[in-house]
Structure 1
Amino acid sequence: MAEIKEILPCIADPKKVRVVGKINVKEDFEEMMPYVAWLIPNSAYNKKMGWISFKKGARIITIHSDGFVTMTQVKDEKEAMEILNEIEQLVNKAYEKKDEIDLSKPREKINVTVMDVYNYLPKTNCKECGEQTCIAFAVKLLNGEKDVKDCKPLFREKKYAGIREGLLGLLSAAGFEFEV
């Protein structure tokens, strides 16, 4: 079972925290790390140093070969535990799918820019999301400060179904997680 070892103030955002946690890993976890990294879109894996690092919204998360996990810009202890549990599930998935993962074919890295997101928004500047403009919403969405569902017209109006699906596909391919 995952556990939180330490909670510290976040340097980048005083309303958030940095967390050091620990997940349960098997003795051969170091050998499994490339498989875990392969399952995480846009992750960086450093075999020599024994870590996998990736972004989840504005958070930077690093998984170490000893099972320690560090996270920045976490909202609270509850969110930290959710992330630790997700990582444990991902590690278990890597063990289950190890034979299906071809490490010789690394995943394509997809970078999403503010303009990429903006191009899939209604561009109405309706303010229903709480932001003054759609471009401001795009920035906050990429930083993890907004959820894609906060764009009400995108999900309410049928005429935006095509761009909505495009945006969800783009965000999903880049490793963003969301519920719709």
Structure 2
Amino acid sequence: MLLETYRMEIFNNECMPGAMTVQCFAHLDQDVSAALPYLNAELGGFSYIEDPPSVTFKMHGKLLTVHGRKIAVNALKDEMEARKIVEWLKREINGAWENRETLTPRYEGMPRPQVIQILKCLPKTNCRECSEPTCMVFATRVAEGVKDSGDCPPMTAEAKQSLDDYMAAFSVGSDGIPW
């Protein structure tokens, strides 16, 4: 096992003191730098930096960044959610490291969904039924992974399938994210 222990630091965003979310740093007691290209290959990182190594993922509207000695997670409801995500990442890091012989390390981020391509699938009525002010904002939220075709009531079944097919090309990694 590569990553065994860490210390959690939960804090409010100093730039937005009234925010309803918290941030988290997990200070890792073991250096996981060598596992990051394998973790990136396994989960499809949004961005990857080689020096110093880090990989960032966008999942469920959150940014998760894994550095050699630290994990950073934003937009958390509470400490319990932070612990679930860090424990999940710990399992993923250790799994990628244990399976490194069967993985091809990846030293770049995955391609990103294009907002304009997503917008082409939408009805472009700006109806606000999705709780977003415009279809362009909704498309941006889909690209971020926060919304999906099911969140747009006016979309036809054909348009939903088209959007789901397009977004499937950007889905990589674990079968189930447990939070």
Same structural fold, with TM-score higher than 0.5 when normalized by the shorter chain: yes
Count of paired positions: 168
**Runs of 4+ residues deviating >4 angstroms:** 1-4, 22-25, 105-108
Amino acid in the other structure paired with 1:63:
V
How much has 1:22 moved relative to structure 2? 4.8
Equivalent AA in structure 2 for residue 147 of structure 1: K
Alignment match, 2:47: 43
Q: Does 1:60 align with 2:63?
A: yes
**What residue in structure 2 maps to residue 133 of structure 1?**
134
If each structure's helix is expressed as a fraction of its own residues, which one has the higher value? 1
User: Residue 107 of structure 1: CA displacement?
Assistant: 6.0
Alignment of 1:103-122 (within 5 A): 103=105, 106=107, 109-122=110-123
CA distance in 2, matches of 1:55, 1:98: 19
Q: Which residue of 1 aligns with 2:168?
A: 169
Which AA in structure 2 matches 1:32?
A: A
1:111 aligned partner, one-letter code: R
* Gapped regions of structure 2 (runs ≥ 5): none
Deviation of 1:76 after TM superposition, in Å, equals: 2.6
The alpha carbon displacement at 1:3 in A equals: 6.5
Match status 1:16 vs 2:21? yes
Q: Are the counterparts in 2 of residues 123 and 134 from structure 1 also a CA contact under 8 Å?
A: yes
What SS does the corresponding residue of 1:21 show, helix, strand or coil? strand
Cα distance in 2 for residues equivalent to 1:2 and 1:136: 40
Output the CA distance in 1 between the equivalents of 2:110 and 2:166: 17
Deviations 1:39-68, CA, capped at 9 Å, x for gaps: 23233143x53x4231415543322323x3
**Residues 10 and 166 of structure 1: CA distance in aligned 2, closer, same or farther (over 3 Å):** same
TM-score w.r.t. the length of structure 1 is: 0.69
Report Cα offsets for 1:80-120 as digits up to 9, x if no partner: 223213312321331343112123x6566312232232123
